[in-house]
Homo-oligomer: A and B are copies of this chain.
């Protein structure tokens, strides 16, 4: 709604560094398209290697990208020396994932010391406009790494 708060430079660097270590997201050619406190978007292209039996992007890839968008959205609000893990998520599939590009959006609804709750949305970017493909409700956990 309002203009988003710009993200702290150190936090952004920490998020991008962890993101780069997600081999699967690199394999899917996903890139960060937006990052602000509590929100992160990933854009990825269609790729024939990742389709299901009808030629649509596989539900698993749709899920992967939303999970990463939600996890890193939560991570933008977590302290230094912490890691983020998915506790669980639930996804509803609304339309076939047909398009040349896709955008996964992750947004924190409630950020707690241990548990964060996020919502994800997945859009197909088509010539006629954007189409909502799937939606996620996810629980993330903050693992506090001890010193060293």
Contact = CB atoms under 8 A, between A and B. Distances in A.
Interface of A: 18-19, 21-25, 27, 48-54, 58-61, 63-65, 67-68, 83, 85-95, 109-110, 114-115, 117, 119, 132, 135, 137, 139, 141
Contacts of A25: 58
A90 B93 contact: no
How many of these chains are in the complex?
Answer: 4
Given A90-B90, A135-B109, A60 B68 contact: yes
Contacts of A94: 109-110, 117
B63 A50 contact: no
Given A24-B60, A24-B61, A85-B93, 4 more contacts: A63-B64, A88-B88, A88-B92, A109-B132
Nearest to A68: B60
Contacts of A27: 49-50
B58 A24 contact: yes
A78 B115 CA distance: 18
A92 B51 contact: no
A60 B50 contact: no
